[in-house]
Amino acid sequence: MATVDLSNKRIVVTGGAGFLGRKVLAQLASAGANPEKITVTRSHDCDLRILENCQRAVDQQDIIIHLAAHVGGIGLNQAKPAELFYDNLMMGTQLIHAAYQAGVEKFVCVGTICAYPKFTPVPFKEDDLWNGYPEETNAPYGVAKKALLVQLQSYRQQYGFNGIYLLPVNLYGPEDNFDPKSSHVIPALIHKVHEAQQRGDKHLPVWGDGSPSREFLYVDDAALGVVVATQDYDGAEPVNLGTNYEITIRDLVELICELMGFQGEIIWEIDKPNGQPRRCLDTERAKQEFGFTAQVELKQGLKNTIDWYRHNQ
């Protein structure tokens, strides 16, 4: 399959002003896309839950990269499951349908690791996606996103519509969301350690017991994966984007404390939820199908993220 020449393509990036979106725009430019032909949709002026906005967004476009999502950590998932289900399902399903109707050449859908079953053999293989129900706290979000895979596969089967589906693992990096009310685990921990240091605290309370494992993908690597797949992958099967490196939350907290110079004691709040027991991806398909492997190791990525936070918080 020939690599898609992006230089003359009209590209829409939904959520392009977001954490991953800004990096995808940079990678598109590096891959030769014309910045003047790229449109970024933002939620405040293009609510994709409204069909007419989806139709306007895809009109006369060649490639849609759908990154927009209503997303957050365990806290948000517990507080707003209905909103997370509805918003993510409506945005995605209407955008895909509008893109098909408008004759868009290619639709790139970025899904979520939350779509995997709660108990999935580790490392997660894409073929295990349907072998059970997702972890309860993030199931509404995960199921809504997973429905978009079914839609893309069925539109491919019936209409020959070229839609691909990517499953990035938890992202982190500079410019992440560090708001403790809605952030994911790495930025939440960095913020928490920083605040403890500012106050001179001798203890650091952390949710859960530290036993779950996670895998983290540096945001620049994720953006590279999205753009390489946009250029080089046309398959119906979903593809994981990750590092294949697994770390326990306990080890992650200790590493962040070490990198930030926090000397206090970590207090595990075992009455708080742990989330999914283990997460680590099989990344072989991305390597085989479009030659993607992550470049940035976790320790270096954490250093970059902490440095950025300290300069910008």
75 carries a ligand binding annotation: no
Q: 100, 116, 141, 309: which one is catalytic?
A: 141
Phi, psi of 269 (to 5 degrees): -90, 85
Residues in CB range of 59: below 8 A, 6 or more apart: 102
Neighbouring C-beta atoms of residue 160, cutoff 10 Å: 8
- Give the C-alpha separation, 65 to 304, whole Å: 26
The response to whether 250 counts as a known ligand-binding position is no
Q: 103 a known binding residue?
A: no
147 Cα distance to chain centroid: 16
- 15 annotated as ligand-binding: yes
Q: Say whether 19 counts as a known binding-site residue.
A: yes
Is 168 labeled as ligand-binding? yes
Angle among Cα 300, 305, 307 to the nearest 5 degrees reads: 95
Q: Is 141 a catalytic residue?
A: yes
Is 21 part of any known ligand binding site?
yes
Is the backbone peptide bond immediately before 205 cis, with ω within 30 degrees of 0? no
* 170 carries a ligand binding annotation: yes
Please check if 174 is assigned to a binding site: no
What is the spatial distance between Cα 162 and Cα 153, in angstroms, rounded to a whole number?
9
225 is in an annotated binding site: no
Q: Which of 168, 193, 169 is nearest to 180 (CA)?
A: 193
198 exposed, middle or buried (CB, 10 Å; 0-12, 13-18, 19+)? exposed
Identity of the residue numbered 62: D
Give CA–CA dist 80/86, Å, rounded.
10
Rounded to the nearest 5°, which phi and psi values hold at 51? -55, -40
Is 18 known to sit in a ligand binding site?
yes
Residue 17 DSSP one-character state: T
Does residue 37 have a known ligand-binding role?
A: no
Please answer whether residues 204 and 146 qualify as being in contact, where contact means their C-beta atoms are separated by less than 8 angstroms.
no
Q: Which residue stretches of 59-138 are H helix? A: 74-79, 81-101
95 annotated ligand-binding residue = no
- Helices then strands (H, E): number in the chain? 10, 12
* Tokens representing residue 222 in the block: 């994720």
Tell me: is residue 214 an annotated ligand-binding position. Answer: yes
Q: Known binding site for substrate: residues?
A: 192, 207, 214
Binding region for NADP(+): 15-21, 145, 168-171, 184
Q: Give the residue numbers annotated as catalytic, written as ranges.
A: 141
- Residues making up the annotated binding site are 15-21, 145, 168-171, 184, 192, 207, 214
